[in-house]
């Protein structure tokens, strides 16, 4: 969204579910989640004094009196002033507390991902640029281990700006492609799309990736999504490509590949999508979300621990019973649905989607 002055943007992702993820299904049904007091009561409001790009993950609990407690920054790109201001605002929020059995109880907010980027000339710092070029030199020489070591360093570079984050992800995606780590490559490319999409949605004059290169990023992302049977996600990627360059050769080719995959998967009685739950911060809760193409679905081959499963659609969201005895079915009239799974980091799951008869 645009901030008031129109030259910067903020982005916030949060499953605003004020309840402990470890509660049993019975306790879950007896619990009323906490709710913020007032419209916009949980919005971070920054001003033009914050001139550094920043993104972070923060968490907080809500005590039985509706006050925020134990607010903490769990991960960030390292902008101390912005971190302090975010915590100050979070600690000022007030809620009606969660209730269990009719009594107010302490509850937890799901980790929030917050991004603050500026519409300004994009450039890397001299030291970051030096390391970045050094990594590509190693890559060109075939020393992928050395390039990978620098790539890991760049992804943890304190105070890095949004362009530097995008550049580090381009490098990491190339290395993942080279080593055949398709899920890691998909993850890095998706991060690039997050930043570029935010800039485009806010009509920034300065973006992070040139038009032609960005189409190649989206095209590769779509290919990876199709290879993994992530048809709904691939459809969203294709929509982005067509909104940017409908009629261009690369977009027409992507559309043909998507339509061929759609025809095959829609005709199949069942198809599967493999996923892995990833933590938003070290030792934090993990999640995996993907779009649904068919209305009947279930999880199988779970290796690890799944704590909760949600159906998130355009109309509403719903907690799904887990472990499940029967297949889940999207309610009539609900559309643009995704399944959101949370649990232990590293947990692998297989989503089965079944064609309705």
pLDDT in tens, 120-134: 999 999 999 999 999
Above pLDDT 70, what percent of the chain?
A: 91
For the stretch 47-89, pLDDT in tens is 888 999 999 999 999 999 999 999 999 999 999 999 999 999 9
Structure-block tokens of residue 326: 């029967």
Hey, which bits of 210-323 come out as E strands? 270-276, 278-279, 286-291, 296-303, 306-312, 317-320
Prediction pTM value: 0.86
In this structure, which CATH number among 3.30.2420.10, 1.20.1260.10, 3.30.200.20, 3.40.50.1220 belongs to the domain 8-118?
A: 3.30.2420.10
Residue 323: cis peptide before it, omega within 30 degrees of 0: yes
How many angstroms separate the CA atoms of 44 and 63, rounded? 20
Give DSSP secondary structure letters for 62-131.
E-TTSBEEEEEEEEESS-HHHHHHHHHHHHH-BEEPEEETTEEE-EEPPPEEEEEEE-S-----HHHHHH
φ and ψ at residue 339, rounded to 5 degrees: -105, 135
Per-residue confidence band for 260, with pLDDT thresholds at 50, 70 and 90: very high
Confidence of residue 356 (pLDDT cuts 50, 70, 90): confident
What residues have CB less than 8 Å from 326, skipping those under 6 apart? none
- pLDDT at residue 9 in the model: 54
Q: Is it the case that residue 25 has pLDDT exceeding 80?
A: no
Dihedral (Cα; 277, 302, 342, 269), 10-degree rounding: 90
Q: What kind of architecture, by CATH, is found in domain 126-267?
A: Alpha Horseshoe (1.25)
Contact 291, 319 (CB under 8 A): no
For residue 32, the model assigns a pLDDT of: 85
Rounded to whole angstroms, the Cα distance separating 123 from 163 reads 7
């Amino acid at each position: 969204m645009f901030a008031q002055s129109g030259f910067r943007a903020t982005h916030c992702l949060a499953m605003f579910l004020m309840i402990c993820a470890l509660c049993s299904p019975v306790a879950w049904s007896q619990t009323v989640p906490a709710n913020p007091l007032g419209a916009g009561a949980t919005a971070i409001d920054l001003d033009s004094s914050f001139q550094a790009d920043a993104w972070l993950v923060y968490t907080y609990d809500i005590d039985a009196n509706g006050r925020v407690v134990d607010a903490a920054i769990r991960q960030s790109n390292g902008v101390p002033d912005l971190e302090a201001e975010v915590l100050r605002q979070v600690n000022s929020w007030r809620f009606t507390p969660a209730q269990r059995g009719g009594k107010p109880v302490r509850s937890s907010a799901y980790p929030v991902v917050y991004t603050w980027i500026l519409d300004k000339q994009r450039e890397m710092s001299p030291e970051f640029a030096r390391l970045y070029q050094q990594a590509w030199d190693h890559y060109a020489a075939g020393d992928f281990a050395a390039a990978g070591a620098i790539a890991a360093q760049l992804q943890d570079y304190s105070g890095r700006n949004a362009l530097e984050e995008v550049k580090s992800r381009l490098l990491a995606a190339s290395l993942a492609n080279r080593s055949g780590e398709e899920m890691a490559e998909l993850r890095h490319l998706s991060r690039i799309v997050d930043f570029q999409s935010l800039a485009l949605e806010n009509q920034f004059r300065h973006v992070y990736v040139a038009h032609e290169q960005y189409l190649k990023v989206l095209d590769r992302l779509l290919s990876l999504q199709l290879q993994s049977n992530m048809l709904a996600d691939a459809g969203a990627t294709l929509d982005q490509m067509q909104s940017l360059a409908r009629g261009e050769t690369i977009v027409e080719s992507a559309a043909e590949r998507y339509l061929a995959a759609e025809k095959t998967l829609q005709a199949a009685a069942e198809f599967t999508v493999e996923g892995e739950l990833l933590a938003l911060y070290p030792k934090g809760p993990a999640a995996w979300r993907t779009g649904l193409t068919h209305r009947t679905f279930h999880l199988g081959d779970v290796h690890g621990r799944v704590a909760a499963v949600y159906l998130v659609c355009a109309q509403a969201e719903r907690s799904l019973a887990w472990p499940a005895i029967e297949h889940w079915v999207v309610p009539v009239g609900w559309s643009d649905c995704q399944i959101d799974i949370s649990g232990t980091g590293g947990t692998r799951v297989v989503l089965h989607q079944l064609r309705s008869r």
